Structure 1
Amino acid sequence: MANVKLITDSGCDLPYEFLVEHDIEFIPLKVELEGKEYDDVTKISAKAVYDAMRNGKSPKTSQASPTKVKEVFTKLAEAKQTGIYIAFSSELSGTYQTACMIREQVLEEYPDFDLTIIDTKAASLGHGLIVYHAVRLAQTGATKDKIVQETKFYSEHMEHLFTVDDLEYLRRGGRVSRASAFVGGLLNIKPLLNVEEGKLIPIEKIRGKKKVLTRILELMEIRGVDLQNQLIGISHGDDEETALLMKEMIEERFGCKHFYMNIVGSVIGAHSGPGTLAIFFLNEKTNSEIDIAQ
C-alpha cells in the first residue's frame, strides 16, 4: 500500500488493530463523558461509553480536532504521499467539511499535495466496509483513480438497516420526541431506520425484537443483490448475542458465508445506545476484479 496512503476516522467502526495492521492513518472524533473529552477509540472504548449510558450518563460527541486533521495531512504532504481520506458521513459530523477546509490550507504550503477526500455518506460498518474494500484494492497495487472510483461506487450503493433497543437514546439526540420514546418503551416498539444521502431516516416502527429482525431480513431481500457472495457487515451496541442471532438468520435465509462484525463505536453508540443492531450490504454489485467476500 506504499503508492496510496489511506486515511479514515472513527466513524468507520473498524477495529483499531485492523487500521494499524494495514497502515491506515486514523483520525479520531471526540467523545465527552462526565465533563472530560476523549479521543474516540484511542483514549476511550465503546464498552466504557455503553456502561456509562446504562448507568444514566449522557455522553456527547463532536467532530475530529482540526489540529489532528492538519497534522495528518501535513505529514503526508511533507512525505509527498498520495492520499485518499474516506470520511464519515458529512450529514452526521462536521469532520468531512473540516477536512476539506484544512486540505486547502495545506495546499497553500504544499501545492503538489495530492489528496482526495470522499464523503461516504455512510456510518459505522457501512463506512467500514467501504474502507475495507479500499484496503483490498490498495493491496493489489490499484491506482489512486481506481480506488477512488470503487470507493465512490461503494459509498453510493451501501445499504444501512438498523434498530435500537431503547428509543430514549434517540430522544436525547433529538431523533424522536419525548412522547414517542415513552410510548415506544411501554409498547416495546422498535424503530427500523436506514441511512439515505448520509442522513438517518426512520422506515417503520415494529413491535417486538423478533419481528424487527425478521423485517430486516425482508428488506435485505428487497434491497440487496447477490447477498450470498457479499461481505455482510453487522455492528452492535454491546450486544453480541443478538448480533450472532442475526448472523445465523442471514446465513439461513440467504446462504451468506462472509461477515464482518464489530461493536458500534462510541461516536455513533452515544446516540443510538446499548442494544443497537445494524446490518450493511450492497444494493448493486461492482464490476471490480476484487471480490470483497474473499
Structure 2
Amino acid sequence: MGVKILSDSACDLPEEIINEYNIDILPIIVIKDEKEYLDKVTIDPNKIYEDMLKGESYKTAQIPLYVFEDKFKEYSKSEDSIIYIAFSSGLSGTYQTSLVVRETVKEEYPDLDLEIVDSKSASMGFGLLVYKAAKMAKEGKTKDEILKMLDFYVDHIEHIFTVDDIEYLFRGGRVSRTQAFVGSLLNIKPILDVQEGKLVPIEKVRGRNKVFKTMLEIIDKRSENADLQHQIIGISHGGDIEAAMKIKAMIEEKFGCTDFVINIIGSAIGAHSGPGTLALFFLNENYDS
C-alpha cells in the first residue's frame, strides 16, 4: 500500500516526468468551433498556438463530472491512498467538481481513501507541486508527509507570467478592450502573478528585453528567504522555447541555479494567454521537510 498521485493536464509537466513517476493525468477539455478535444491527448498545444497566430480562437472547459466519477470508482478498488492535486479553484471549477463527486462516490464506496488538494496554482507552478508529491510517493513517503509538503508549497510557490500580446488577455477576460488597445499600441508587456489562485497583473513593461530584466528583479526580491541554487525552477512557455532558454540562462548566471523543468504551456492557460507566453516558478522560502 502506497500513495498514488492524480492530477490534470493544467499542471504542464513534461511527459517524461509523468511517466517516470507514474502520475495519473486527467485532460482538460479544449473547444474549437464546437468540437471538443482533450488537452495533450487529441490536440497538441503547438497546434493551438499556430492557430491563434492566424486569428483563430479556442475555449476550454473543466473536466466533466463523469470522468471524475469513473476515475474515483476505479481507485475505490485500490489499496493505495490517492491524492488528487487540482488546478487552482480561482481559475477553474474542476476542484469543486471533484469534491462533489468524491462525496457521491463515497456513498457507494465508503472505504475510498482520497484526499483532494486545491493547488491554487497554474501551469508549472501547479506542476512543481505535483512533481514533488510524486517524487515523495515514489520514495515511500506517507500520505500525511506529502500533504504537509503540499500545504507549504501552496503557500510559498511563486508565479511570474508575461504574455507577448495583451490582446489574448482581453479575449480571456483579464484586461479591458481599452487596456488591450493601448497596450498593443505602446508595445506594453504585462507581467502577472497568481494571488489567491487567480491571475493578477502586477507590472507593465514596454518591450520584450525589459521584460526579462524585470522578471529577474522580481525573482530577486521574492526569493530573499530562499536558496534558489538548491531548488527546482519551473519555466513554461507558449511555443517559444528560445525565450525559455534565454531566461533560463539569465537565471543560471544571476542565481547559480542548475535544476530546471521546462515545458510548453498546455491549453488550460495557453488558450487564454496565447503564443509567446513565458512563465517562471520557484519557492519564496525553503521547505524544511
TM-based fold match above 0.5: yes
User: Which residue of 2 is the match for residue 291 of structure 1?
Assistant: none
Match of 2:90 in 1: 91
Give the structure 1 partner of residue 180 of structure 2.
181
Partner amino acid, structure 2, of 1:282 = L
Q: Secondary structure at the match of 2:76?
A: helix
2:203 corresponds to: 204
SS in structure 2 of the partner of residue 104 of structure 1: helix
Length, aligned pairs only:
287
Indicate conservation of the 8 Å contact 1:25/1:72, yes or no: no
Q: Is the 8 A contact 1:234 1:280 kept in 2?
A: yes
Look up the equivalent residue of 1:264 and give its one-letter code.
I
Match of 2:244 in 1: 243
Q: Is the 8 A contact 2:164 2:277 kept in 1?
A: yes
SS state at 1:8 partner: strand
SS of structure 2 residue aligned to 1:108: helix
What amino acid maps onto 2:227 in structure 1? D
Structure-2 separation of matches of 1:66 and 1:17: 28
Does structure 1 conserve the Cα–Cα contact (< 8 Å) formed by 2:28 and 2:267?
A: no
Other structure's SS at 1:174 match: coil
Distance 1:222 1:103 in 2: 40
Report the AA paired with residue 228 of structure 1.
Answer: Q
Cα distance between partner residues in 1 of 2:194 and 2:55: 27
Report matched runs for 1:38-77 at 5 Å. Answer: 38-77=37-76
Between the aligned partners of 2:248 and 2:276, the Cα distance in structure 1 is: 15
Equivalent in the alignment of 1:33: 32
Partners of 1:169 and 1:240 lie apart in 2 by 19
CA distances 1:48-107 after superposition (whole Å, capped 9, x unpaired): 111111111110001001111111111011224310001110010000000000000110
Q: TM-score, normalised by structure 2?
A: 0.97
Counterpart CA distance in 2 for 1:109 and 1:81 is: 18
Question: Percentage identity across aligned positions?
Answer: 55
Counterpart CA distance in 2 for 1:131 and 1:81 is 17
Contact kept, 8 Å, 2:17 with 2:131, in 1: the verdict is no
Paired position in structure 1 for 2:280: 279
1:118 Cα shift? 0.3
Report the secondary structure of 1:78's partner residue: coil
Is structure 2 residue 239 aligned with structure 1 residue 227? no
Distance (Å, rounded) in 2 between the aligned partners of 1:219 and 1:76? 42
Deviation at 1:33, TM superposition (A): 1.3
Matched position secondary structure for 1:26: strand
Match of 2:259 in 1: 258
Work out whether residues 16 and 41 of structure 1, in 8 Å CA contact, stay in contact via their aligned partners in 2: no
Asked whether the equivalents of residues 34 and 57 of structure 1 are also in contact (C-alpha less than 8 Å), the reply is no
The Cα of 1:15 is off from its aligned counterpart by 2.2
TM-score scaled by length of structure 1: 0.95
Shift of 1:251: 0.6
Moved more, 99-108 or 131-140: 131-140
| Structure 2 residue aligned with 1:150 | 149
Q: CA shift at 1:27, angstroms?
A: 1.1
Alpha-carbon separation, structure 1, partners of 2:260 and 2:80 = 32
The aligned amino acid for 2:258 is K
Opposite residue 207 of structure 1, the aligned amino acid is: R
CA-atom RMSD, angstroms?
1.0
Query: How far does residue 169 in structure 1 lie from its aligned partner after superposition?
Result: 0.4
Could you tell me how far apart the structure 2 residues matched to 1:23 and 1:226 are?
Answer: 29
> Whole-Å Cα distance in 1 between the matches of residues 105 and 18 of structure 2?
24
| Unaligned ranges ≥5, structure 2 | none
Cα deviation, 1:127-160, whole Å, max 9, x if unaligned, reads 0011111111111100110011101211111000
Structure 2: distance between partners of 1:254 and 1:157: 19
